Amino acid sequence: MDLHQLLSGIDVRADWIGLRYVKENTGFRLVRDGKPEANTRESKQGVMVEVLVNGQFAYYGTSRLDKPGIQAAAERAVKLATAASKYSLHSFGTDARPVAKGSYSSPFQTAADAFSPGELSDLLIKATAELKVSDKVVTTNAMARTVETESHFVASNGSDVEQKYLMVSADYSAIAHEGSVTQKRTDGGLLAKSYQAGMEVFNEADVLARCRNIGAEAVELLTAEECPTGTMDLILAPDQMMLQIHESVGHALEIDRILGDERNYAGWSFVRLEDFGKLQYGSPLMNITFDPYVENQFASYAYDDGGLKAEKEFLIKDGLLIRGLGGMESQLRSGINGVANFRASSWNRAPIDRMANLNLEPGNSTQDEMIAAVERGVYMTSNRSWSIDDYRNKFQFGCEYGKLIENGKLTKTVKNPNYRAISNPFWRSLKMLGNRDTFEVYGTPFCGKGEPNQIIRVGHASPLCLFDSVEIFGGA
């Protein structure tokens, strides 16, 4: 398909026209207890036709990819934009879609087709066998997800961007049960190991070793004490910090939320436009970056879906809020500096402000120093429960696995660890930050937002973090 030819063949009157073609193949394999549960591939393709007329954008997403189909879509989009322009929330100019020319290919060592379906199934079957470390493990799951995406964006202002991605996610889990106690352990939280990478992720020795540990920890949790209740120090592992950054920083800083677009769905934000440059969001240890170029991180790219070039930017510097998560439309509406994060989940959705790679930069403390600094507290790892209010203030998160910290040492394992707090006071209580050795990179394919709804992939990286005086509690 020649997108340039389709664009040049469109005959409508518009101030700007863009075509964004997306083709995405998502493979998913799941083995439970040594038996195949799913071997599937979803293949989607289509074109998002977008026009600007009288200051109003309108779109028409179509899976009909020939010239008459694109022309019809453009004509309908022009009619929609014309009708809606009498009621526009904001009158945009062509500066909302900067000229972009470039390309991006995600890094990988081993191509997706290097593993046959049979070979990958065999590995997953072996993984479930390794997870079953004892008869107390009653359910084992091993899953592999591969996504191959091609996107091509061309526009009447000369934009021409091609981006290709190979993304791999995997997860291995064990459920252990004895008496009335049931506990589950995964590989760092459901599909938290999501990367722009190739099939090298499925190194057999590494996968099987991880599975043995996951199974053993699930069994260990059966006899663990309940997580204590009280206000005490909290050390969060990077795989839980992923969720913490996502929910209590990322969504709160999305400029379209601050502008109210999401008030009927995902919610608003406690952050206001006037807070940028003034709000002490967290302790001086807190440095949050939007970084689209971390090697292998899940949401790396060169240009967003509006054509803005992606650059690394500090959003929070030494705890001070300085920049928002907003693409060109939000930057023009708000006057706030943003980033290249105007993204759509696929060809059938219009772009909105999304997180991409949003990371907490490492500090200077070693893991041993951080544990030694705690008189009484809990270390928690691997998210299993998450909920936060519509302003991104009051959150409650739960983890799979905890360790009591007493007098500067990790002691007993505890089950059902949970904590709850309010975003700003929580981040201001960040009192030690792990160094580069504790820094780990994660991602998730499942960030939901927008009307109509969109699921998009994001990446988060963090060091180990120590928070002061947090409300901690156990299970039912």
Site for another protein in 164-223 (CB under 8 A): 175, 177, 180, 182, 184
- Positions in 337-366 near another protein (CB under 8 A): 348-350
Contact residue for another protein among 30, 75, 76, 220 (CB under 8 A):
76
Q: Which is nearer to another protein, 240 or 287 (CB)?
A: 240
- Positions in 220-249 near another protein (CB under 8 A): none
User: Whole-number minimum distance, CB 415 to another protein, in Å?
Assistant: 10
Half-sphere exposure of residue 132: CA atoms within 13 angstroms, side-chain side: 14
The answer to whether the beta carbons of residues 21 and 6 sit under 8 Å apart is: no
User: Whole-number minimum distance, CB 62 to another protein, in Å?
Assistant: 5
d(CA 104, CA 264): 35
Burial of 295 (0-12, 13-18, 19+ CB in 10 A): exposed
The answer to whether the beta carbons of residues 108 and 300 sit under 8 Å apart is: no
Contact residue for another protein among 5, 43, 134, 203 (CB under 8 A):
43
d(CA 358, CA 270): 19
Q: Which is nearer to another protein, 413 or 416 (CB)?
A: 416
d(CA 194, CA 441): 9
Contact residue for another protein among 225, 295, 311, 451 (CB under 8 A):
451
* 30 is a site residue for another protein (CB under 8 A): no
Stretch that binds another protein, among 37-45, 286-294, 314-322, 400-408 (CB under 8 A): 37-45
Residue 403: both structure tokens together: 């360790």
Residue 153: both structure tokens together: 């964006």
d(CA 79, CA 14): 10
* 104 is a site residue for another protein (CB under 8 A): no
Stretch that binds another protein, among 118-126, 336-344, 436-444, 459-467 (CB under 8 A): 118-126
* 57 is a site residue for another protein (CB under 8 A): yes
Contact residue for another protein among 95, 113, 264, 335 (CB under 8 A):
264
Q: Which is nearer to another protein, 139 or 337 (CB)?
A: 139
* 91 is a site residue for another protein (CB under 8 A): no
Mapping DSSP onto H, E and C, the string for 256-317 reads HHHCCCCCCCCCCCCCCHHHCCCCECCCCCCCEEECCCCCCCCCCCCECCCCCECCCEEEEE
Q: Which is nearer to another protein, 148 or 291 (CB)?
A: 148
d(CA 397, CA 416): 11
The amino acid present at 35, given as its one-letter code, is: K
- Positions in 366-425 near another protein (CB under 8 A): 385-391, 394, 396, 398, 416, 418, 420, 422
For residue 104, the cross-strand partners are 163
User: Whole-number minimum distance, CB 84 to another protein, in Å?
Assistant: 4
Q: Which is nearer to another protein, 62 or 289 (CB)?
A: 62
Stretch that binds another protein, among 57-65, 99-107, 206-214, 283-291 (CB under 8 A): 57-65
Q: Which is nearer to another protein, 64 or 312 (CB)?
A: 64
Q: Which is nearer to another protein, 396 or 469 (CB)?
A: 396
* 260 is a site residue for another protein (CB under 8 A): yes
Angle, in degrees to the nearest 10, between helices 204-222 and 117-131: 30
User: Whole-number minimum distance, CB 103 to another protein, in Å?
Assistant: 24
Q: Distances in Å between the alpha carbon of 187 and those of 51, 191, 205, 381?
A: 44, 8, 15, 10
Q: Which is nearer to another protein, 245 or 371 (CB)?
A: 245
The size of the interface with another protein (CB under 8 A), counted in residues, is 83
Stretch that binds another protein, among 81-89, 146-154, 299-307, 403-411 (CB under 8 A): 81-89
The answer to whether the beta carbons of residues 328 and 306 sit under 8 Å apart is: yes
Contact residue for another protein among 6, 16, 17, 46 (CB under 8 A):
46
User: Whole-number minimum distance, CB 183 to another protein, in Å?
Assistant: 8
User: Whole-number minimum distance, CB 264 to another protein, in Å?
Assistant: 4
* 272 is a site residue for another protein (CB under 8 A): no
Give the three-class secondary structure for 5: helix
User: Whole-number minimum distance, CB 305 to another protein, in Å?
Assistant: 13
User: Whole-number minimum distance, CB 93 to another protein, in Å?
Assistant: 17
* 125 is a site residue for another protein (CB under 8 A): yes
Burial of 260 (0-12, 13-18, 19+ CB in 10 A): exposed
Q: Which is nearer to another protein, 32 or 431 (CB)?
A: 32
Those residues whose C-beta lies under 8 Å from the C-beta of residue 157, and which sit 6 or more positions away, are 16, 94, 97, 99
Those residues whose C-beta lies under 8 Å from the C-beta of residue 169, and which sit 6 or more positions away, are 144, 145, 146, 147, 191, 193, 194, 195, 443, 445
For residue 75, the cross-strand partners are none
- Positions in 454-473 near another protein (CB under 8 A): 454-455, 471
